[in-house]
Amino acid sequence: MAASSTSFFFFTYFLLMLLVSPHVITSCQSHNLLLKRQAKTLVSLKQAFVDYVSSTLSTWNISNYMFLCSWTGITCDITKSVTSIDISNLNISGSLSPNIHQLTRLQILNISNNLLGGNLSLEFPRLNVLQVLDAYNNNFSGLLPLGVTQLLQLKHLNLGGNYFSGEIPLSYGTLNQLEFLSLAGNDLHGPIPRELGNLTNLRWLQLGYFNQFDEGIPPELGKLVNLVHLDLSSCNLMGPIPAELGNLNMLDTLFLQKNQLTGVLPPQLGNLTSLKSLDISVNELIGEIPIDFAGLRELILLNLFINNLHGEIPQCIAELPKLEMLNLWRNNFTGSIPSKLGMNGKLVEIDLSTNRLTGLIPKSLCLGRNLKILILLDNFLFGPLPDDFGQCHTLSRVRLGQNYLSGTIPTGFLFLPELSLLELQNNYISGQLSEAKSSASSKLEGLNLSNNRLSGALPSAIGKFSGLKNLLLTGNGFSGDIPSDLGRLKSILKLDLSRNNFSGGIPPQIGNCPSLTYLDLSQNQLSGPIPVQISQIHILNYINVSWNHFNQSLPEEIGAMKSLTSADFSHNNLSGSIPESGQYLFFNSTSFIGNPYLSGPYLNNVTSNTPSKRGDGSDNKTKVPTIYKFIFAFGLLICSLLFVVIAVIKTRKGSKNSNLWKLTAFQKLEFGSEDILQCLKDNNIIGRGGAGTVYRGTMPNGNHVAVKKLGMSKGSHDNGLSAEIKTLGKIRHRYIVRLLAFCSNKEINLLVYEYMLNGSLGEVLHGKNGGHLQWDTRLKIAIEAAKGLSYLHHDCSPMIIHRDVKSNNILLNSEFEAHVADFGLAKFFHNNGTSECMSAIAGSYGYIAPEYAYTLKIDEKSDVYSFGVVLLELITGRRPVGNFGEEGVDIVQWAKRETSWSKEEVVKILDERLKNVAIGEAMQVFFVAMLCVEEYSIERPTMREVVQMLSQAKQPNTFQIQ
């Protein structure tokens, strides 16, 4: 009985298998076909990419189609249909294949942060379930794609950070399901469509940054009641701020900064009870801050700086319970600072500088012990500094100069542990500096107490500030000896103790300050000899010890200080002869007057500007015998012949070993290393510079390229150059010269760039055709070059610092469009001695930031300084150095002197070759240039901010050059 049951079971199972198997086989075959079809589509996408990291998409292989759902960046649903492609941040270039429309179940497409180009005109209707399209930060161009308006389920659309042009299509207002829309960072123009007000599900809207819209902010945006983030900054908006924005009750971020908005601040903005960040800085607003802002109970950030606002700062601002950052500088605010400011215990940053504020500094600013930045300079504040400042241990930057402050410096204020900058100059502060009761901060870099009423001895504790770079105490009543502890300041760059009552001698320990570049001890009561130890400071370039009582002779060792370009020993009791060697030959004759016991040729004619002429040089010339001249000429001829023979041998050897060249291509090339080598002929040379010789070449397909020939470092290693070049080769940006390929062997490196027809900006601007470069073109070049540098600083990871920004490294194509060149290379070539324009450190004379020349340390703000010099070149038409009336003056010093830092005086320095200049534009560009060349790097703007400020330079007022 059991056996028959078992037989029946197996018989039944066999029948079921016969019935089910065809369906199972059919289902498996169907899944396999689906996977294979999708795999072919993805592989076709990959073929349109240029993937520099071959392993990045190595899984995208047709032989691996069965595991398609585990490919890099791919997600599938339970039916094995591809629903998501995320290949962001893979540094992929090329184009996006239209075959992607075959993935009809695709819901998410994220290709952001790559280098993809071309247009984005896909067959969007076939991607009818797509919900997310993120193409942020690529190189797409052309018009914004209209097809996206047929994606009825689209919730997230990010096309920002590309090169789309034209206007925003009105039909974008029909994307009713959209929750996120960003079109920022393109080249869009025209008005912002009112139809965007129909996108009532929208939570995030970002349209600014580099776009240049016409008209103003549409009031219809006030209908976007679900909006949380609204960013319309830096896009040339004009007109008033619509009161309707006050209807956006869910808004937590409103950015309208860096536009040309006019009118008053709408009181209705006080209805934004969820708002956390409000930035309307750098506009043309007038009127007062509405008291309705009392309703902004969640506000953390309030930026209204650089406007024309006036009146008193309302007390209600001080009473906002969560306010952390308040920046109202460069307006016309009057009255006193609200007495309750800081009472919320949350303040971190306050900048009310350059207003007309009066009264006392509130005692509660640091009540919560969170305050880091306090800037109140250039106002009419009076009274003492609050004693509480001495206990505000979080303070980092304090700038209170140019006021009428009095009283003493609070105990402990100088020795706060986080303090990096303290400025109290040009006040009426009195009393003495106390000795430290605790250890001094190593973070303090700048201390400016000049032009006050301080007195007494300079405490020895000043030597404990090990990180101090600038110590400015001029114009006080300090007395006693200069403490020898100053010799402990190993980082000090600038030391100014002038116009005090110091007595005694200069401590020899001053020679232990290896970074010192500027020393001013003039107008004191100092005496004794000038210590020879000063000559130990190898980078000192300015010394002034005039109007003291120094005696004995001038140290001959000072003449050996090659860095010393300016010295003043006048009005002392020095004696003996002026040394006739070294730097003494180049000091101005007035440097020695007022020393009755000092003798030397200088003092025979104090008005002489050519101190190197000592007597009649013609009488002292030693005549060289003719036979020696002949021997010298013959030897020179033999050396020249040997050089030619060696060069010919090396050239032949190089041609024999041409097969040893390695070519690294950064895009698809139609030429090889042999074609590149054919360019290296003397008649093809188009430029020479610190980084090498540049040749113009024509490839077999007729395209022109520029080939830069670089010498290899000593030895067989390239010190990381190859790896650096590969990084630079991945960069693709409209305003950066494109690196096409890298060709190298053991002796030579060749960089192949796209060719720029009009050469460098420096060659054009300072050449005979510089007058043809009119103002509109110059401004366009400035903006484009700034955008290129901004990309290197802010959009490359890691950041790329150019290190040698100058007009000769800004190249111009056939349309005079600017392209930044030679970025990131200077650190490899700063010691090869191939160019007189290259300094002993990276960079070019006239462009080097002060901190870079003194400390050999560099950051992105050094590039900003150099770019400021380029802006001054564009404004003035002058070279950075030379022809400024006196020795040692560069374009920055000259421009500041001629204009007194006032942009209204820019007409005094405009290039005379310019015919019509929009004076408002020139003033704005000069204003930006002056910000860029600030002495302290921390005060300079970022390149992103430079771009935004230059983009706003367009003004209708035109000035006719006479």
Instruction: Name the token pair of 125.
Output: 């209707």
The pLDDT tens digits for 434-480 are 876 666 667 899 999 999 999 999 998 898 888 899 999 999 999 99
Evaluate if residue 709 carries a pLDDT over 60. Answer: yes
In the numeric block, which tokens belong to residue 871?
């802006």
pLDDT band at 633 (very low <50, low <70, confident <90, very high): low
Whole-model pTM?
0.69
> At residue 840, does pLDDT exceed 50?
no
Name the pLDDT band for 20 (thresholds 50, 70, 90).
very low
Q: What is the arithmetic mean of pLDDT over 637-644?
A: 70
3-state secondary structure string across 413-471: HHHCCCCCEEECCCCCCEECCCCCCCCCCCCCCEEECCCCEEEEECCHHHHHCCCCCEE
Tokens of 542: 């300015």
- HEC states along 76-135? ECCCCCEEEEECCCCCEEECCCHHHHHCCCCCEEECCCCEEEECCCCCHHHCCCCCEEEC
Higher pLDDT, 585 or 519: 519
Cβ–Cβ contacts within 10 Å for residue 467, how many?
16
**Which phi and psi (to 5°) does residue 887 adopt?**
-65, 140
Q: pLDDT tens-digit profile of 248-273?
A: 999 999 999 989 999 999 999 999 99
Q: Which fold has domain 653-755?
A: Phosphorylase Kinase; domain 1 (3.30.200)
How far is the C-alpha of 591 from the C-alpha of 571, rounded, in Å? Answer: 9
What percent of the chain has pLDDT above 70?
84
In this predicted structure, what is the pLDDT of residue 197? 92
Mean pLDDT, residues 806-835 taken together? 70
Q: Band of the pLDDT at 702, cuts 50, 70, 90?
A: confident
Residue where the block lists tokens 């006036």: 310
Q: Which of 4-13, 116-125, 232-241, 799-808 has the highest mean pLDDT?
A: 232-241
Catalytic site residue 388?
no
Contacts of 635 (CB under 8 A, 6+ apart): none
User: Bigger pLDDT: 328 or 44?
Assistant: 328
Token reading at 326: 């308040």
pLDDT 10s digits, 334-384 = 999 999 999 999 999 999 999 999 999 999 999 999 999 999 999 999 999
Confidence check: pLDDT of 836 > 70: no
pLDDT-wise least confident of 89-93, 423-427, 517-521, 567-571 = 89-93
| Of 262, 298, 300, nearest in space to 280 by CA | 262
∠ CA 419-344-273, nearest 5°, is 120
- Tell me: pLDDT of 908 over 70: yes
8 Å CB contact between 34 and 42: no
Structural fold of domain 466-611 = 3.80.10
In this structure, are residues 712 and 749 in contact, taking their beta carbons and an 8 Å threshold? yes
Structure tokens at 600: 């030397």
pLDDT of residue 438: 61
Percent of the chain at pLDDT > 90 equals: 44
CA distance 669 to 633: 50
Domain-wise residue ranges, the chain: 466-611, 653-755, 762-962
The residue-averaged pLDDT of 397-417 equals 92
CATH number of 762-962: 1.10.510.10
Beta strand 494-496 pairing with 332-334: unpaired
Higher pLDDT, 901 or 44: 44
**Contact residues for 657 (Cβ-Cβ < 8 A; gap 6+):** 745
Identical fold at 466-611 and 653-755? no
Structure tokens at 730: 């991945």
Among candidate residues 296, 351, 298, 301, the one with its CA nearest the CA of residue 325: 301
> pLDDT-derived band of residue 621, with 50, 70 and 90 as boundaries?
very low
Question: Residue 469 — φ and ψ, nearest 5°?
Answer: -110, -30
Task: Determine the pLDDT at residue 749.
Answer: 84
Note the pLDDT of residue 955: 47
Exposed/middle/buried for residue 726 (C-beta within 10 Å: 0-12, 13-18, 19+): middle
Which is catalytic among the residues 568, 804, 822, 890? 804
Please give the mean pLDDT across all residues of the chain: 83
pLDDT computed for residue 617 by the predictor: 37
